[in-house]
Structure formats: C-alpha cells, structure tokens
Chains A and B, each alone.
Chain A
Amino acid sequence: RKEVEQDPGPFNVPEGATVAFNCTYSNSASQSFFWYRQDCRKEPKLLMSVYSSGNEDGRFTAQLNRASQYISLLIRDSKLSDSATYLCVVRGTGNQFYFGTGTSLTVIP
C-alpha cells in the first residue's frame, strides 16, 4: 500500500470556481503534512503546511483529519495561474517525506 494516495485528476475548472483535493495517508504515526505545488518540468514548491486545527492562506484552505488519516486542500476563486499539479506530502516518524503522485489542476478561462 502506498504511503500517500491522491486522486490524479485531471481537474478542469473554470476561472472563479472552488475546487477541492483530497489525500489519504497510511501511517497513523505520521508527523507532519503539507501541500506542494509543482509546475510542469519544475521543482515542487511548498504551498502550505497543514496544521491539526486547519489553516488558511488567502484563497487556500487546508484541513487535516487524523482520525480518518485524510488531508484536504480547498482553492477558492480559482485563477489561471493556479493551474499546476498539487502534491500531498507526509513526513513520517523517521524524518522522511512521502509524496503522493499529485493531482493535476487546469483552470480554464
């Protein structure tokens, strides 16, 4: 079983739409949780860490459900520039980071 599982999409949404991505992780002892953004042929860039109480950064909201081992990312008022692949990342107990395969988002004019 993979450490981190994501729906690969693709998600094609119109500008201004709200879109949500989900992710599950297998190790209940996982320590930290993140969403990264990766543009085509570029390196992943940290979008936001995910805290137990949930957190928001502008149009982006991340939620963590430890009981269900589930992480989510909500993007409101989608912009063309949000088009990218979104990676769910989990840090294990040994300081290794585990990456999902990513969810592809295309925002359409």
Chain B
Amino acid sequence: EADIYQTPRYLVIGTGKKITLECSQTMGHDKMYWYQQDPGMELHLIHYSYGVNSTEKGDLSSESTVSRIRTEHFPLTLESARPSHTSQYLCASSEYRAITYEQYFGPGTRLTVT
C-alpha cells in the first residue's frame, strides 16, 4: 500500500486567493491523480499524470493547474479561489500489482472558500 500525504488537511480561505494543495507519495509511483468530491457525490477527475513532466486534464480541470517536476510530488493550484471550489480534494497514486493497476488515496484536503 502507498504512503500518500496531503497538506493542508483543512483550509478556509477568502475568494480570489491563490492556493496550492500539496500531494506527495513515497513509493515511486509514476501515475498520480487529483479528484474532487462533494459530500455524497462521486469522485470527479481533475488532473492526472503518468510521470515526470506529463500532465493531462480530467473532467473538471478548467480552473486549476498541476505540475509534475518530481516523481513524488504533484501539487494542485487554484489561481483564484471561488466559493464553488468548496469541496474535498483527493490525491491518489497507482501501481501495478498482481495483474492490474491499483489506486491508493491520500487523506484529502477539505477546502472552504468564503
């Protein structure tokens, strides 16, 4: 199982601020993902990366950016936070195990934009 860390765990911030959510994993996994999840709802893919210098947009990516300069680090940046960004943000990485890729999640960042 992967060790995935996310900081901060909770963040309350005002509208218009720039914020970066941090995600790190120590297992050397190439593939990493960012998801957004509202309470009681499904996970939506925001961005993903298949390795260093590789990033792709998911379904909800238009208001955020990511970078993948190091294998272990995959930060998510919101240039101008809005109340509609209030949600839980989950980072994940995946590894090949047995006969398939399995995905593991960090503890999440719960973001509130006021």
Contacts and interface: CB of A to CB of B under 8 A. Distances in A.
Interface of A: 31-32, 34, 41-46, 49, 51, 87, 89, 91, 95-97, 99-102
25 contacts: A31-B100, A34-B103, A41-B88, A42-B108, A43-B106, A43-B107, A43-B108, A45-B105, A46-B102, A46-B103, A49-B98, A49-B100, A49-B102, A87-B42, A87-B43, A89-B103, A91-B100, A95-B48, A96-B48, A96-B58, A97-B94, A99-B42, A99-B43, A101-B41, A102-B42
Contacts of A41: 39, 88, 110
Nearest to B58: A96
Most buried by B among A51, A87, A96: A96
Contacts, number: 54
Contact of A43 (B50, B90, B100): B90
A44 B88 CA distance: 12
Interface residues of B, number: 29
Interface of B: 1, 31, 33, 35, 39, 41-43, 45, 48, 50, 58, 88, 90, 92, 94, 97-108, 110
B108 A96 contact: no
Given A45-B105, A96-B58, A99-B35, 10 more contacts: A41-B39, A42-B108, A46-B102, A46-B104, A51-B99, A87-B43, A95-B94, A95-B101, A97-B94, A102-B42
A94 to B, nearest CB: 9
A44 B101 contact: no
A32 B45 contact: no
Contacts of A99: 35, 42-43
Contacts of A97: 33, 45, 92, 94, 103
